[in-house]
Every structure is written in structure tokens, then in C-alpha cells.
Amino acid sequence: MAKIISKAQLNVGTELTVDEAAKTIKLNVAGNCGAKPGATLQALYSKLVDLWATASYQDSPFPMYAIDALSGQFQFGTDGTTFNGWKPADDATRQMLRDGGWSEYNATGTLARQYVGIVGLGAVSSGSQLYYQNVIDGAATNFTFPDQCNQGIQVYGSATADPSTTTFDSRYYFKSYVREYGKKYKDSVLEDTGKTTTGAYIVNMLLSNEDDLKIQANDAAMSGAPYSGITVAYYTANQTRSIGGFPYSFKIVINGNGATLEQIYTKVQYLLRQSSDINTDGTAGVKIGKIQPALLSFVGDTLVTRPPVYIDNIQAVDSNRVQFYDDSGVLRVNPYTAAGAMLFNAVLVGPGSSYRLMYTTGPGANDDYGQAGAITVKNASGADIAGVISSGSIAFDFDYDNSTAGGPAATDKQVTLIGVRPGYGKYAVATGVLSRSKTISLSLVAEQDRVYA
């Protein structure tokens, strides 16, 4: 069943009921008319003109006034000169009116209700449930029908003029959303349309969605690892984070929980579809997920935050695939962090073992491996790359762009990895290079020690 766009599709007694005594107009789900496709205001107006061209209806005042069909401006309860109190029979009828907004006046000419015609532009996936806010920080309200929106939304009411409504005026804000699993999110706010207020006319919202190839898992997976540990905290005061050795301010901090950027993004997108509070341990109060602004987006394979969002606890290998907008709206980028893994054979792994990574040739005298002042390599956080060999593969990172400990910054550096596990693995030495790479591999293989006692 398609939207009724012609007066010929509206038949009194089937699709349309005109009650002259009650001065109401009702659309019926019957014949050519379905609740979801509805009928255009232009078709309804044109049908009423034809009816009032007959003697049967001319003893009643004319119900509607049309200002302009293109911009969707209509009025009920007036013929353009006098007021008479005609109106739609019920909310079900109002929800079936398409391609326009309208005002409703009572018999004394007082504005009783006003509806803005919200019409979405763009393609959305079948079955998408779009929703909106018409008050800043207000609750999310679903459009009556799924798929792309085309509906009159009440933005003004006067209980004095019409006791069946409440008194309110929300003509100064409107924001609509489409957020579906596996699709890119989109929202559109009134200012995007070039208007500053809503009213009895069409407002086109730019709403569309497309496949989101960065989503990694379905909603059921969000309660398991690593997703369950990925949280968002909203703060009232700035939180300081160091990027390239300089402090910057952020008010929203995501705990990445050591997950990949794609996994972090997947969880955050999930949170932004929730009708519950998603603020974990933040100080900014309740934040209902589905009405919060977007936090992250991918540009190619680079994850970009919106101001003022930072992500803690990301994988070292991802440090140069993420960019942050701070509280001042300035883009901040991590210096290049090299990353890789140190690989150890089985006899070196276990309690009592130790490893250390040192520069093969240092920048000065007596600081090379094999000399008393040998310099230990530090990771990107400034800690020594040394410790117990707890597993056969130990990840590490290195501040390639800024570290000058083993020579000039932003240059490849020769290193020596040593390891030993008394009574199990003999002292072993391997050399390698710290380069501008995320896949550095240093392998240490020791002989089994059968002599130690």
C-alpha cells in the first residue's frame, strides 16, 4: 500500500470520515489508506475542496486553509478568513498526515496545536527505528512508524484552547537520529536545516545510514571480553592526558581495556544505542546513551575522536592509528611509537628468569652493551624494557620519534637482548634493530642448562 497523494484515493465512508456535527476529519485504515503510508495534506485538502463544492457540505464552514503545498503549510479550523474549530478527529489521524506541518485553531481563533512536518532525506536501512528530541537533553521519542520519517510532530499545545492537549512550546529545538546495529550513525539537528525554529511547515532532516564495516561483533558479545571492560566516563572537569610529552585536556575518557580500535569502536557504538545511563565512574551525571553525540569515527583505518574525547588503554600497535580532538577542538596525534615482541624459547620462560634490552652502541663513551655504562632501552612510557620472562612472547613499545637515549631521535637503533634462567636456560644474547615499525621481532634462543647446580 502506497502513500495517498491523490484526492481520488480518498473516499468518504472508506478512507475518510467527515463529521460535520463534531467538526472533525478522520483518516481510516481502510481501502487505499494504510496507517504507515498515510495521506498527504495536499490530497486531503483537495478532497475537502471537492466535497465543499457540493451542496451536501456547504452548510458547514470549510475545515482547512492551505498556505503552500511545497513548503507544507496548512491550517485546520479556519477557511483563511474566519475561524470554526474544525480539526483532525484524533492522534491516529494526525500520525497519518504526510508531507507537511499544520496549525489547529479553535472556534475563537486561538492557536490550540501546532505540528511540524519532519521529513527525512536520504536512504535508511529497512526497518530502521528513527527517533527524535524536541527539547534539549530531553527524552528520546520514536517516530510512530519505522523506516524513513515523514510525520507531523506536535511542537506547541494550549490546554486552554484545546483541553485534549497539554500546554507547552518546543518550537526552538529539534534533533533526530538513526542508529541501527551494523550501520553508520547519523543525526540531524534543526540548525543543520538553516532554520532556527520549527513550526507549521516541512523541516527536512538529513538522515541516512550505510553499512559500517568496522563493527566487529553483535550485541550479545558486549557482555564478554574484551567488550565488557570497555567503558565511557563523562566528566564535568577537564581530565589531563599526555600526548607527545605535553598535557592536554579532555572531558570524556574511554577505557579501551587493551582492545583493538575496532573493538573499542564497536562497544562505543553499542553504548550509543542504549536507553540507559552509559556514564561509568564519570562525574557528569546520567548520560542516556542513545541521545549522546557520537564519540568516534573511522577515517580509513584511523580512529578519530570528537572533541573532547580521549581513549586510555589502547594497544601499543594502535597508538598511531588513533587521533584525538581535545577540549579546545584541536587535533592531537601521538608521536610514532614503534612496537613489537620479544620471543623466548621454552627453557627461558618461568620463575627466576630475567631479560634486558640494551643499546648495542650508545651515543657516548662506555655506554654500549658489554660496557659498564650500557644503556637499557625504555618503553614509550619511560620504563625499562627488562624483567621476568613470564611467557614465550612479551610485547613492547618504543618512542621512536622522541627517544635520544641510544642515539638521535627518529632514527633506527641497534639493540641487544639478553636473557637467562638459572638452572634451566643458559645466558643468551641476540641482536636486532628498533625501526619505525609496529612489527619488530627480537628472538632469543637459549641452550638448556644441565650444569648449573
Query: How far apart are alpha carbons 157 and 203 in whole angstroms?
Result: 19
Is 294 inside any structural domain?
Answer: yes
Tell me the three cell numbers of residue 1. 500500500
Same domain, 110 and 186: yes
Sheet holding 302-305: strands in order across? Answer: 296-299, 302-305, 322-325, 331-333
Same domain, 28 and 83: yes
Is 451 inside any structural domain?
Answer: no
CATH number at residue 342: 2.60.40
Q: Do 182 and 128 contact (CB within 8 A), yes or no? A: no
Tell me the three cell numbers of residue 346. 621454552
Same domain, 276 and 147: no
Query: How far apart are alpha carbons 210 and 73 in whole angstroms?
Result: 32
Is 452 inside any structural domain?
Answer: no
Q: Pick from 333, 353, 385: which residue ends a domain?
A: 333
Q: Pick from 303, 333, 363: which residue ends a domain?
A: 333
Same domain, 12 and 44: yes
Q: Do 115 and 153 contact (CB within 8 A), yes or no? A: yes
Query: How far apart are alpha carbons 98 and 41 in whole angstroms?
Result: 6
Rounded to 5 degrees, φ, ψ at 168 are -165, 165
Is 110 inside any structural domain?
Answer: yes
Tell me the three cell numbers of residue 80. 483563511
Is 281 inside any structural domain?
Answer: yes
What is the torsional sign of CA 197, 198, 201, 202? positive
Q: Pick from 284, 314, 333: which residue ends a domain?
A: 333
Same domain, 106 and 54: yes
pLDDT for the residue 281: 96
Bridge-based pairing of strands 24-27 and 16-19 is: antiparallel
Query: How far apart are alpha carbons 311 and 302 in whole angstroms?
Result: 13
Tens digit of each residue's pLDDT, the chain (453 residues): 899 999 999 999 999 999 999 999 999 999 999 999 999 999 999 999 999 999 999 999 999 999 999 999 999 999 999 999 999 999 999 999 999 999 999 999 999 999 999 999 999 999 999 999 999 999 999 999 999 999 999 999 999 999 999 999 999 999 999 999 999 999 999 999 999 999 999 999 999 999 999 999 999 999 999 999 999 999 999 999 999 889 999 999 999 999 999 999 999 999 999 999 999 999 999 999 999 999 999 999 999 999 999 999 999 889 999 999 999 999 999 999 999 999 999 999 999 999 999 999 988 899 999 999 999 999 988 999 999 999 999 999 999 999 999 999 999 999 999 999 999 999 999 999 999 999 999 999 999 999 998
pLDDT for the residue 420: 98
Bridge-based pairing of strands 296-299 and 413-421 is: unpaired
Same domain, 315 and 357: no
Is 30 inside any structural domain?
Answer: yes
Please state the pTM of the whole predicted model: 0.83
Same domain, 224 and 199: no
pLDDT for the residue 381: 85
Is 107 inside any structural domain?
Answer: yes
Domain count, the chain: 3
pLDDT for the residue 419: 98
pLDDT for the residue 182: 97
Is 1 inside any structural domain?
Answer: no
Same domain, 160 and 224: no
Same domain, 69 and 197: yes
Same domain, 163 and 245: no
- Domain residues for the domain of 120 are 7-206
Same domain, 172 and 66: yes
Pick from 23, 102, 97: which is nearest to 66 by CA?
Answer: 102
Same domain, 224 and 302: yes
pLDDT for the residue 339: 92
